[in-house]
Structure 1
Amino acid sequence: MLDEFLGDTQKHVGGRWEPEEHADGDQGPELWHSHPELVVAKTPTDARIKLGDLEECNDSPRLLTSLTKYLKNTCPDFKAQVSTLVTAATKVQSWSRARLFHAPSPFKPSEGPHIDVIRAQPAKFDRFDRVSKPARFDTVLIMDKSRRVGIHRYTPARVRAIFELPKDLHHLSNEKLAYVDLFYSPSPIPEPDVGLYTTTRAQIDGVRKSAVIPLSSIKMTCHLAPRYNRFQPDTTLIQYSDILQLCESFYINIFASYFLYELFRHWGQAGSVA
């Protein structure tokens, strides 16, 4: 069980760190990236939920479309059968959270291990249809650009669902998957006034861009802070307004955790205000 595995989380050490490969002739400092150990509960939050229901519950309208695209790209031998094998009625296992265990960093080992928690939790309502627990869909960094430096190896994203295909479809995929809303790559340089990199919500024809990815490609959580000077909401904000959905542009907040701050400092990308 997850609780047994995490019973003494301060002592559990997982994952590893890998250095960036230097370009030919580059004698710059060695920069490191975390490859954490991924852990989900042995018992899923929902053991048999239809993909169509997961789409609706987790506000993931293109989950099936994105999953079909992902499987066709990763399983070319079954490309013609994917749409028949995987439908809205296909039942999957889903989890509401996952944990990432980071080993102590090579550049500051005295700080010890670090744990990130990724949540993909839809809102809960009481019998009067009032919100009893707000939705929480965490933002993360996906490593998808292996030749870049520092933060530019990553794409920010928001996790909407964590799931796994049933055993009879493991020939298509037998690993944990995530459905995410994507953001554009971090800005080339930090914003001068605040020293933070920025990102914006990725859209295609005004519709948010989403994708299915291996859960293991998520390397850490992050905090995206709205750029309120560019925020002009069309509706009045209330307690449960989804700012990540309403706002277009964000700062990548390196001060959200000491782990993230030290990592950006190590990369030489902590920024500075002129």
Structure 2
Amino acid sequence: MKKRAKQTDAGTEPDASASGDRQFVTALQRGLDILRCFRPTDGALGNQELAQRCGLPNSTVSRLTYTLSKLGYLVYLEDIGKYRVGVPVLGLGYACLSGLKVREVAQPYLDELAQHAGNGLLVAMGGRDQFSMIYVACARSEGIVSLQLNVGSRISLARSSMGRAYLAAAAPQEREAILRGIEARTDKERWPQLQSEILRAIEEINTRGFCLNSGEWQADVNSVGVPLPPLHGSGPILALNCGGPAYLLPRERLENDIGPRMVEAVRKIRYAGEGGGR
């Protein structure tokens, strides 16, 4: 039976395949895909919902969720017949965050940017998880209006300024693999426009260090993204963004104020993180 194509951000890594690779454990990959299906805004999910999200047969999902629940990574709620994420997954998340020392270095600069942006606008730093960007650090100033996103939130890799900033910093081979995966998950009619937006953002990063996004992630939300290459030449590529309602972040302000400040903040983060001090 032909395997269903995965259409969500929880899909497999671009070009990942067990074909011809005896070291690749497909069952482990599928189990991790199940865990990736859970989002911070979700309640409990049933096997059918998980199957739809990760593109696996119901019978396979049922075996995987049973195994993950036996290991404690999922908790089965008998009264509704669904699963929620177990505490051991939280332990893995904190282990990851504690290993990202750049978070501690970057946080004061994120705070400064948020205070300058004002009005509750959100400044965040994130890394890639397949076809999503996950926030690993956040800062926001006081204000009535704010995007309801926090550490652990996912946003689109393809449509967000943060994701496009990541793509600009990725090695060409990785970028091409990701773009192929995005194309496979995008309607044919939509792909030319999306590809054009991504390539435009990469060119903006290359020419002025930041890229703008005017309602391309969510309508009436504007943002600016800047890549943060690995410190000391090792570690993951990260990216920063600042976003909020378009009436609080008009394009002119992003272009002439917030964008240049974020490029400078990244320079300071890299300098401090590589031993230069704050």
TM-score relative to the length of structure 1: 0.28
Greater fraction strand: 1
Structure with the bigger percentage of helix: 2
* TM score, norm. by length of structure 2: 0.28
